[in-house]
Amino acid sequence: MLRPLGVGDVLDRTFTVYRSKPLIFIGISAIWYLLLFLVFIVLGAIIFAGSLSAFARQATTPSPEFVAGAIVGIIGFGIVAVVVAIFLFSAQSAGIVHAAARRYLAREVTIGESFRAGLSAAGRLFFAGLLVFLAIAALWLLVFVIGGIAAAVAREPVAGVLVIGLGVIVAIAGTFYLAASWLVAPVIVVVEKLGPIAALGRSWRLSSGSRWRIIGIQALLGILNLVLSLLIGGIFGGLAAAGQTEQPGQFGVSTVVQTLVNLASTIIWAPVEWIAFTILYYDLRVRKEAFDLQLAAEALPQS
* Digit-coded pLDDT (tens) for 212-237: 889 888 888 888 888 877 776 666 55
In 172-190, which positions are buried (b, 16+ CB within 10 angstroms) versus exposed (e)? eebeeebebbbbbbbbbbb
- 54 pLDDT higher than 60: no
Contact residues for 265 (Cβ-Cβ < 8 A; gap 6+): 228, 229, 232
The C-alpha torsion from 226 through 230 and 233 to 239, rounded to 10°, is: -160
Please report whether residue 158 resides in a domain. Answer: no
- 184 pLDDT higher than 50: yes
Please report whether residue 188 resides in a domain. Answer: no
Please report whether residue 281 resides in a domain. Answer: yes
Contacts of the segment 178-182: beta carbons below 8 A, 24+ positions apart: 178/132, 178/135, 178/136, 178/139, 179/132, 179/136, 179/218, 180/207, 180/211, 180/212, 180/214, 180/215, 180/218, 181/207, 181/211, 182/128, 182/132, 182/207
Residue 21 DSSP SS3 = coil
Please report whether residue 136 resides in a domain. Answer: no
Percentage of the chain beyond pLDDT 90 is 33
Least-confidence region, from 128-137, 140-149, 166-175 = 140-149
| Residue 162, pLDDT score | 78
Distance from C-alpha of 115 to C-alpha of 120, rounded to nearest angstrom: 9
Print the domain residue range for 21: 7-127+210-298
What mean pLDDT comes out for the span 157-162? Answer: 69
Please report whether residue 180 resides in a domain. Answer: no
Least-confidence region, from 99-108, 124-133, 188-197, 248-257 = 248-257
Burial class (CB in 10 A: 0-12, 13-18, 19+), 219: exposed
Please report whether residue 275 resides in a domain. Answer: yes
- 199 pLDDT higher than 70: yes
| Residue 246, pLDDT score | 47
Break the chain down into helix, strand, coil percent, rounded to 5: 85, 0, 15
- 119 pLDDT higher than 70: yes
Distance from C-alpha of 240 to C-alpha of 237, rounded to nearest angstrom: 5
Please report whether residue 57 resides in a domain. Answer: yes
- 138 pLDDT higher than 80: yes
Percentage of the chain beyond pLDDT 70 is 74
- Higher confidence at residue 107 or residue 81? 107
- 16 pLDDT higher than 60: yes
| Residue 244, pLDDT score | 54
Q: In total, how many domains does the chain have?
A: 1
Please report whether residue 218 resides in a domain. Answer: yes
